[in-house]
Amino acid sequence: MSTITALEASMRADIGKGASRRLRKTGLIPGIIYGAKQAPISINLQHHKIIKALEDEAFYSRILTLKLDGKDQQVVLKDLQRHPFKKQILHMDFLRVKSDEAIIRTIQLHFINETIAPGIKIGGGTVLHYEKEVEISCLPANLPDFIEVDVGNVELDQVIHFGDLKLPKGVKLASEKDAGLPVVTIHIPKVVEEETETAAPVAIETEITTEKKEDETADAASSDKDKDKDKDKDKGKEKGKDKK
């Protein structure tokens, strides 16, 4: 079990949004500890120390030791609230853990030996990561910082699934249903060919030709109408002469 022992916290009496805002202005982070059938405790943490601790990705999955007013609390980070655009932590939730109770945590995957994989060296493929984390279940003492995924023997188009991962002793997938889900593969990316634009001029020419035909048809129809009108006028004149 990996632990961080230099994380100090203090009890917090003032609660509420107003009290939390005042705390943040003094460089503190409001937080809470709960779980293990014990009453929740409101706490304060030093903002600059937490920012430093968060640089280690294992902080999010490790068992943390909070030194709270001289007493150690074994916890895991349950929730973290960040400011939308400032580099500021607004609130932290910690869950107590018991040594004899299994916990479920999301652990980072570390991919190794990718450059020597046959699918890359011989097949000329590219690595495609489907997942970068895995949800596991284990006792706190067996909680790893990360899980290694060895890609060194992966052939072209071969897939490693969650069920293929070599998990440490005492660690298992949180859900057996995830065993068939893909984690990583090596493949040759498909190149989508762009459609040629040779058909465009033909379409324009056809459109222009169609327009010409429509214009010619319209002109012909107009000419026929004019001829019909002239014929009607001539007939009218002839009828007038007959009456005379």
Instruction: Convert the pLDDT of each residue in 126-152 to its tens digit.
Output: 999 999 999 999 999 999 999 999 999
Condensed to tens digits (0 to 9), the pLDDT of residues 191-239 reads: 766 665 555 554 544 444 455 555 555 555 555 555 555 555 555 555 4
Q: Do 65 and 81 meet the contact criterion of CB atoms below 8 Å apart?
A: no
Place of tokens 């916290």: 9
54 and 128 belong to one structural domain: no
Extended beta strands in 151-196, E state: 159-161, 172-173, 182-187
Task: Identify residue 19 by its one-letter amino acid code.
Answer: A
Residue 173, in any domain of the structure: yes
- Residue 3 banded pLDDT, cuts 50, 70, 90: low
Res 208: pLDDT? 47
Residue 231, in any domain of the structure: no
* Average pLDDT in the chain: 83
34 and 92 belong to one structural domain: yes
Task: Identify residue 74 by its one-letter amino acid code.
Answer: Q
C-alpha to C-alpha distance for 75 and 98, rounded to whole angstroms: 9
> Out of 18-22, 94-98, 192-196, 215-219, which region has the weakest mean confidence (pLDDT)?
215-219
Higher-pLDDT residue of 196, 114: 114
84 and 122 belong to one structural domain: no
- Residue 31 banded pLDDT, cuts 50, 70, 90: very high
Res 69: pLDDT? 81
Residue 244, in any domain of the structure: no
> Out of 49-53, 70-74, 75-79, 156-160, which region has the weakest mean confidence (pLDDT)?
70-74
Res 165: pLDDT? 97
Residues spanned by the domain of 143:
111-187
Closest CA relative to residue 43, chosen from 14, 63, 72, 79: 14
Higher-pLDDT residue of 123, 201: 123
Q: Do 46 and 27 meet the contact criterion of CB atoms below 8 Å apart?
A: yes
Q: Do 145 and 62 meet the contact criterion of CB atoms below 8 Å apart?
A: yes
Number of domains in the chain: 2
25 and 72 belong to one structural domain: yes
66 and 123 belong to one structural domain: no
- Global pTM exceeds 0.85: no
Give how far Cα 84 sits from Cα of 18, 90, 142, Å: 19, 10, 35
DSSP annotation of 197: -
Last residue of a domain, one of 96, 131, 157: 96
145 and 89 belong to one structural domain: no
Condensed to tens digits (0 to 9), the pLDDT of residues 36-74 reads: 889 999 999 999 999 999 998 888 888 999 998 888 989
Looking up residue 17, the CATH number of its domain turns out to be: 2.40.240.10
